[in-house]
Structure 1
Amino acid sequence: MNPYLYIAGTLFFTVYGQIVLKWRLSLLKVILPERVIDKGIYLTKLILDPFVFSGFVSAFIASLFWMAAMTKLEITTAYPFMSLAPALVFMIGVLFLGETFTVGKAVGLVLIIVGTMVTVKY
């Protein structure tokens, strides 16, 4: 299997996990209680939500893809691709979650993508 497919899998499951957690927590209008015991109960209920749980499972699957990538690629080749995760989360967040888009964020996004290309290519 192409080792870059392992990187793509890592990115997909990492981004999915972040987006689904933000989406679900926003939908549930989560406000963390003050007391420690209440936080524990509340967080346990959240983890049992099927979508939130899928975000945690997604993080585990991303880890499996990452381990597979590490068997095929040098970390100095593979790891720069992980900087694309925040860029992808930014784009999906703006498009589907109504997150704010600013020129500064867009410039940062371009710099991340260019930096990834330079790091991997040279």
Structure 2
Amino acid sequence: MNPYFYILGTLLFTVYGQIILKWRLSGLRIVLPEGLLDKLFFMVKLLFDPFIFSGLVSAFVASMFWMGAMTHFEITKAYPFMSLAPALVFLVGILFLGETFTIGKVIGLALIILGTIVTVKW
């Protein structure tokens, strides 16, 4: 199996987890309570939502893929690929969550991707 599969799995499960949490919490129109105990109770209650739970499981699966990646790569070679997550979140956020598209975000993401290429190649 290609070792880059582990990096791709890390990216995809990380992005899925972030997007599904944002989508679900936005759909529920959640307002976080003020008190510390109320916040804690509220967060525990959210854990039982199947979509939110799947986002948390996704973070765990992403960690498993990352461990696989660490058996094949130096961290200084693998970790720059994680900077591609904001680009993926940007695209998915625009397509599925109706997030705003600005030229500044595009330029920033292009710089991140260029930096990733430079870091990994040289």
The verdict on a shared fold, with TM-score over 0.5 as the criterion, is yes
- Equivalent positions of 1:36-75 (< 5 A) are 36-75=36-75
3-state SS of paired residue (2:119): helix
> Which 10-residue stretch deviates more, 66-75 or 40-49?
40-49
Supply the distance in 2 between the matched residues of 1:33 and 1:19 (Cα, whole angstroms). 22
CA distance in 2 between partners of 1:66 and 1:97 (Å): 27
Stretches of structure 2 lacking an aligned partner (at least 5 in a row): none
SS at 1:48 equivalent? coil
Residue 101 of structure 1: aligned partner: 101
Report the counterpart of residue 87 of structure 1 in structure 2: 87
**Residues 20-35 of structure 1: pairs in structure 2 closer than 5 A:** 20-35=20-35
- CA distance, structure 2, for counterparts of residue 44 and residue 76 of structure 1: 36
Name the residue aligned to 2:120: 120
Deviations 1:3-43 (A, max 9, x none): 10000000000000000000000000010011122212211
Deviation at 1:94, TM superposition (A): 1.1
Q: Which amino acid is 1:13 matched to?
A: F
Runs of 4+ in 1 over 3 A off after TM superposition: none
Which is worse superposed, 32-41 or 64-73? 32-41
Coordinate RMSD, CA, aligned? 0.8
Report the alpha carbon displacement of residue 44 of structure 1 after superposing the two structures with TM. 1.1
Structure 1 residues not aligned, in runs of 5+:
none
TM-score normalised by structure 2 residue count = 0.97
Normalising by structure 1, what TM-score?
0.97
Number of equivalent positions: 122
